[in-house]
A and B are shown apart, each in its own frame.
Chain A
């Protein structure tokens, strides 16, 4: 079978779904957009993660990107509905003196961006979150964060795309096998079911993004899987109602990793607890990080360490029934920043990937920025730091 498309989006995770949504929104309804995933839509990392919508104030760049995106999420929920969205705010919890010292630093970062977070003492922390242990010395509360259920959100974005543009075609179980070239550019995408003639491709394959890049014979796109173990409780048992994370999480997650991601047996892994209330009254517990290739076996030791930390902060979680544990693979780019833009050596080839542990938060802005660039519009946020060009050798 052969067909044509104006744009083919490869990968139907949260990122590909958002790209499809904003393409449908910004381009005319005569634009034929095909999005294909080799498995279920939103069945890979975007179904194995947490849904913390996190504004990161580390610097003005990141703040602009994440804040814009988290704000877009609110609008998407109002416009599209159909997915769980809960503006819980986030508590950054301190335990040690070193943690305590991070509170004013983080507070200032929010302030420097013209935003505000509240420094809480031992008593105030428990007023916001009665489920916490009574000896948590302090915390920072940021009200702008929230929680979504990513798989349903991806579905809602694709349904929203199709509602705006009947020429949006969604194909699950349709793996891309190759890309045909026309000179420097692209002439077609070969899937397991058809050949789709197109000049424009968006590669949104998460940890598999480099595999699609390889089909073009380019230098390997530097994205590596970074494993995280998660546990979920049964319903109506969550002792907490706010998104919680250890403040030391920032040191641990948002710095570039000191470990070589290609040496998959060298990384003993790390953890900082992240606890998330679910709409059904369950509680999702993370979050560990380890480079060990595409291995999805739960690491009992790391899982236990995060359960232990969870119990330390929220003693009531000890008796909660755990119904399932699993591993998700974060798409870590070598400098820990996403790739959002054209891959210059191949005209028409775009990348939207490498969001590590912030892909859910950054999905709307990523979709918007890709669509704006493809449509020739001025991007709402400065994309320069995120252009894949930084990796073209």
Chain B
């Protein structure tokens, strides 16, 4: 069946974050027809998330220097959307084969046929369950960013920010920009562990500028970053009203006896990101595991090509690295495609930039490897799988009887079977249920649909 629900493009791009935008902009500038599919309502992806009207939500919100580049990227991308790029927002990609992307858009089941595809679907938050993490008002750092930047909502009056890694700082500044008081910012890694990130930051001019900017914002608002602290529990009547915070040791294990109580009505928890690789696995792309890259990530060659012909991957899906990595890799993927299309050889500077951004990100993120001790924050009765209401105890019992694999835990107690398909609980579930200190996790088994879509969409999918 071929009808107006099927569209054609030279290149299909999944995700309009920095990776997808950079690739699309360059491809379109060279005259290729590009269709970009994104679930969100505007271009920008996670980091440069915009309100539907194209602003970032809060008039007075200060932006870090890197966002200037982001705005440039969005501008040149949007200029291309008047010519060779079609951005279909509100599009959920639910199945993929080389050359074909099935998506749901405004209730309709549609198909994009393309000669090449660039996967840039980004990442999702790593959740660390602790008592009270399911209370209203407790959110992942990502969800907070979506609320503040994507919807312009002020989430509360007094916020506590906890977690580990470079995402803590933007979470704090977004809250400040929205006029929220940040009562404390807790980094679970110790100052000494974090110092390992120093060379990567110090040697990289843009990252150095960025770090200074954040620290200035924090000091201006008198927010002190507390190293080696995290949240032990959140409490409240119907929503979060206070948090119990405390010190953790170097592995992240809570040091009982160090607790303090802090009043707050918002908690943002950002314990890092996990690559959103499902679409790549569905296409048959190989993956590897590295804790410092956020878990399983897709394997690409030196020019962002996967081993599956016509499929390229860029940004967080190739390992957590940040916006600069994503846009550099996006440009590189575009250059590779252009060359395959008979264009010029790839500019070595483009390759070099992608590699150096990736190296800088890797060395920075090595300092913030997941801390296995944080899995001890959850109590036996703490919910670990929110979709199915499964406790830590039940997950542990499932592992003890059914086996220690992700699949065994899943069949043994239903954890990970709900609508999120283990995106939320998966990355910490297995390590937590089996006391695995390497924080490894089995590769998920991916099935259609990649994200929930209606029965009607599957039934009426164009071929």
Contact = CB atoms under 8 A, between A and B. Distances in A.
Please classify the interface of chain A as helix (H, G, I), strand (E, B), loop, or mixed, using the class held by over half of its residues: mixed
A144 B402 CA distance: 31
Interface stretch (A241-249, A305-313, A365-373, A375-383): A305-313
Contacts of A322: 449, 452-455, 458
B447 A324 contact: yes
A40 B421 contact: no
B408 A41 contact: yes
Given A40-B407, A159-B401, A325 B455 contact: no
Interface in A1-48: 37, 39-43, 47
Interface in A276-321: 280, 285, 298, 300, 303-304, 307-308, 310-311, 317-321
A170 B402 CA distance: 9
Contacts of A303: 458
B419 interface: yes
A42 B448 contact: no
Contacts of A152: 412-414
A37 B405 CA distance: 13
Interface string B426-463: 00000000000000000000011100111110110100
Contacts of B447: 298, 324-326
Given A152-B413, A234-B419, A298-B447, A43 B407 contact: yes
Nearest to B95: A300
B452 A321 contact: yes
B12 to A, nearest CB: 20
Contacts of B413: 152
Given A40-B411, A155-B402, A173-B405, A323 B418 contact: yes
A151 B459 contact: no
A40 B455 contact: no
A320 B412 contact: no
Interface string A230-243: 01011100000000
A233 B457 CA distance: 13
Contacts, number: 112
B403 A39 contact: yes
B68 interface: no
A310 to B, nearest CB: 7
A172 interface: yes
A166 B458 CA distance: 49
B458 A319 contact: no
Max chain B C-beta neighbours (<10 A), residue from A233, A234, A308, A322: A322
A158 interface: yes
A318 B388 CA distance: 23
Contact of A231 (B387, B388, B417, B455): B455
A323 B388 CA distance: 13
Interface residues of B, number: 29
B397 to A, nearest CB: 9
Nearest to A44: B411
Contacts of A325: 447-449, 458
B398 interface: yes
A285 B453 CA distance: 15
A320 B454 contact: yes
A173 B452 contact: no
Given A41-B408, A233-B455, A324 B421 contact: yes
Contacts of A39: 403, 405, 407-408
A218 B202 CA distance: 71
A159 B398 CA distance: 11
A158 B412 CA distance: 12
Contacts of A43: 402-403, 407-408, 411
A151 to B, nearest CB: 4
Contact of B412 (A41, A234, A304): A41
Contact of A47 (B388, B405, B411, B461): B411
A173 B403 contact: yes
Contacts of B414: 149, 151-152
B221 to A, nearest CB: 41
Contacts of B448: 298, 325
A240 to B, nearest CB: 13
Nearest to A42: B411
28 contacts: A39-B405, A39-B407, A40-B403, A40-B411, A41-B402, A41-B412, A42-B402, A149-B414, A151-B414, A155-B412, A159-B401, A172-B408, A234-B419, A280-B388, A298-B447, A300-B461, A307-B455, A307-B459, A308-B459, A318-B455, A320-B454, A320-B455, A321-B453, A322-B453, A322-B455, A323-B449, A324-B449, A325-B448
Given A151-B414, A170-B401, 4 more contacts: A37-B403, A42-B402, A231-B458, A319-B456
